Amino acid sequence: MYGKKVKFRALFIFLILISLVLTIFLVVKSLEENVVYFKSPTDIKNLNEIKNAQKIRVGGMVKKNSIKINDKEIFFVITDFKNELLVNFNGSVPNLFEEGKGVVAEGFLKDKSFLNADKILAKHDENYMPPEVSEAMKNN
């Protein structure tokens, strides 16, 4: 009926379409699962429900005199000067993690006042800070 060439081409186009649809589907699905939202302590206070399985980032300042250290963990309080959030963290801290400086903690919320962090980002040098930190500081 159709020539070999036409069949070949049809198969080719079909394969491209299939792989395109498959790619879009997988990418969108994976994005939904793995996107990390950025919130301030006040945003968290205003949340209606807490999704324990959803990773988030919280940005603000490390509250003065709030860092507590033991053998395993570090506890500190992130504040945006309106609301506060207690964070516990077991991992390596960045070089400029200090009280009174900007910080972003990434992890899972236990409840509205407690974050179990597995990653901490802080200012990289004197002039530079992660955009999220500067955003959080600007809002204050």
Q: Which of 42, 83, 94, 113 binds other proteins (CB under 8 A)?
A: 94
Among the residue ranges 45-53, 80-88, 108-116, 123-131, the one whose residues contact other proteins (CB under 8 A): 123-131
Are 77 and 61 in contact, with CB atoms under 8 Å apart? no
Structure tokens at 16: 């491209």
By the rule CB under 8 A, 7 interacts with other proteins: no
Neighbours of 70 (CB within 10 A): 7
- Residues numbered 101-120 forming contacts with other proteins, rule: CB under 8 A: none
47, 106 contact by CB (below 8 A): no
Cα angle for residues 121, 55, 85 (degrees, 5° grid)? 65
Q: Which residues bind other proteins (CB under 8 A)?
A: 4-5, 8, 19, 23, 26-27, 30-31, 33-38, 55, 57, 67, 69-74, 90-97, 99, 121, 124-128, 130-132, 135
